[in-house]
A and B are shown apart, each in its own frame.
Chain A
Amino acid sequence: MILLWLILVPLIGGLLSLPAGRRRDNAPRWLALAALAGETALLLAVFADTVPESTWLAQIDWAWIPRFGIRIHLALDGLSLLLIALTVFLGFVAVLCSWTEIRERPGFFHFNLLWTLAGVIGVFLALDLFLFFFFWEVMLIPMYLLIGIWGHENRAYAAMKFFIFTQVSGLLMLIAILALVFLHYQTTRTLSFDYFELLEADLYPGAARWIMLGFFVAFTVKLPAVPFHTWLPDAHTQAPTGGSVLLAGVLLKTGAYGLLRFVIPLFPGAAQDFAPFAMTLGAVSILYAAKLAFAQTDLKRLIAYTSVSHMGFVLLGAFAGNAQALQGAVMTMLAHGVSAAALFMVAGALQERLHTRDMDAMGGLWTLTPRIGAITLFFSVAALGMPGLGNFVGEFLVLLGSFRVDTVLTAFAALGLILAPVYALYVMQRAFHGPASRHEVRDFGLREMGVMLCLVTATAWMGLHPQSMLAYTDAMMNGLTRTLAQRGT
Chain B
Amino acid sequence: MTADALTALLPFIVLSAAAVAVMLAIAIRRSFRLVFWLTVGGLLAGLSTLPHASPVAPLQVTDLLRIDAYGLFFHALFLLSALVVALLCLAYFRRRENENEEIFVLLLTSTLGALLLVSSAHLAMFFLGLEVLTISLFPMIAYSVRASRPLEAGIKYLLLSGLASSFLMFGMALVYGDLGVLSFEQIGAHGAELEQKPLALAGLFLILAAIGFKLSLVPFHLWTPDVYQGAPAPVTAFLATVSKASVFALLLRFFTAAHAERSETFLCVLGLLAVVSILAGNLLALLQVSLKRLLAYSSIAHMGYLLTGFVAAGLLRRDLQTETIAFYLAAYTVTSLAAFGAISALSDDDRESDRLSDYAGLFWRSPWLAAVLTLSLLSLAGIPLTVGFVGKFYVFAVGVQAETWPLVATVVIGSGIGIYYYLRVVLTMIQPAGVGQRVTLHPAAGTALAAAALVILAAGLFPQPLIDAAANVPQPPPTADSP
Contacts and interface: CB of A to CB of B under 8 A. Distances in A.
Given A65-B464, A168-B416, A182-B483, A148 B383 contact: no
B480 A189 contact: yes
B471 interface: yes
Given A67-B467, A178-B396, A171 B412 contact: yes
A164 B419 CA distance: 7
A123 B450 CA distance: 30
A145 to B, nearest CB: 7
A190 B483 CA distance: 8
Nearest to A185: B483
Interface string A45-75: 0000000000000000000111111000000
A137 interface: yes
Contacts of A66: 464, 476-477, 479
Interface string B375-393: 0001000011100010001
A178 B483 contact: no
Chain B residues touching A, majority SS: helix
B73 interface: no
6 closest residue pairs by CB, A with B: A178-B400, A168-B416, A69-B479, A137-B384, A66-B476, A134-B384
A189 B389 CA distance: 25
A144 B393 CA distance: 22
17 contacts: A65-B464, A67-B463, A67-B464, A67-B479, A69-B479, A138-B384, A140-B383, A145-B430, A148-B430, A149-B430, A167-B415, A168-B415, A174-B393, A174-B396, A175-B408, A175-B412, A178-B401
Interface in A134-151: 134, 137-138, 140-141, 144-145, 148-149
Chain A residues touching B, majority SS: helix
Interface residues of B, number: 35
Interface in B418-454: 419-420, 423-424, 426-427, 430
Contacts of A145: 430
B482 interface: yes
B264 interface: no
A164 B420 contact: yes
Contacts of B400: 175, 178-179, 182
B483 A163 contact: no
Contact of A163 (B423, B476, B480, B481): B423
B420 A141 contact: no
B423 A160 contact: yes
A172 interface: yes
A149 B427 CA distance: 8
A141 B371 CA distance: 13
Interface centre among B397, B400, B420 (most CB of A within 10 A): B400
Nearest to A171: B412
A160 B417 CA distance: 11
A145 B397 CA distance: 29
Nearest to A168: B416
Nearest to B422: A163
Nearest to B478: A66
Given A65-B464, A67-B471, 8 more contacts: A66-B479, A134-B384, A137-B389, A145-B430, A164-B420, A171-B416, A175-B396, A192-B479
